[in-house]
Structure 1
Amino acid sequence: MSEPTRDDLRRAVLDLLSERKPTSSICPSDVARRVRPDDWRPLMDPVRAAARDLVDAGEVEITQRGEVVDPDIARGPIRIRRPRGTD
């Protein structure tokens, strides 16, 4: 099985988000399991890196405990969501 590219992982993040309600978030493990169900754990860091790319592009936000965080310094569990409006 070939290694998924960063582009594959970015696409998987966006695909998963598009399948959920606009207010939903996903875990990096959701993405890793979608891309490689039988051996997903090694993909956790690459998925987080792909999510950082999407943050830089303004396509997603990274949260911890419901608060948006800087993905470059986030440690521990994170969630990925679509950007929220400033209502």
Structure 2
Amino acid sequence: MSNELSPGTIETAVLATLEKRADGASICPSEVARALFPDDETRWRAVMPQVRAVAAAMARSGRLRISRHGVTLSPDQLGDGPIRLHRGKAP
């Protein structure tokens, strides 16, 4: 069974997860992956690179802000460390 999901499916999950939080709150990309595959740790872990890639694309368009330890990151320089996803300015 493939772990490939469409970018649109992941984007919808990112926005839905953020919508459940207060306006200034952030989420972990793993929350999105777990929402997509709630009963399958192997699959949600496998989809994490896709979730991060979609989040980076959303940040490039202004729909998300990505941070690490409170510092905004360039979507092109996320590295492998932990990141947080915040609502962006663009609709």
Q: TM-score, normalised by structure 2?
A: 0.84
1:46 counterpart SS class: helix
1:81 counterpart SS class: strand
Q: TM-score, normalised by structure 1?
A: 0.88
Provide structure 2 residue ranges, at least 5 long, that are not aligned to the other structure. Answer: none
Instruction: Say if 2:88 is the partner of 1:83.
Output: yes
List 4+ stretches of structure 1 deviating above 3 A: none
Match of 1:64 in 2: 68
Question: Partners of 1:77 and 1:44 in 2: how far apart?
Answer: 12
1:4–1:35 CA contact under 8 A, matched in 2:
no
Alpha-carbon offset, residue 24 of structure 1: 0.6
Q: For residues 41-69 of structure 1, give each alpha carbon's deviation from its aligned partner in whole angstroms, at most 9, with x where no partner exists.
A: 00110000110111122111000001101
Q: How high is the sequence identity, in percent, across the aligned residues?
A: 42
Question: Partners of 2:9 and 2:73 in 1: how far apart?
Answer: 24
How many residues align? The count is 84
Match of 2:10 in 1: 9
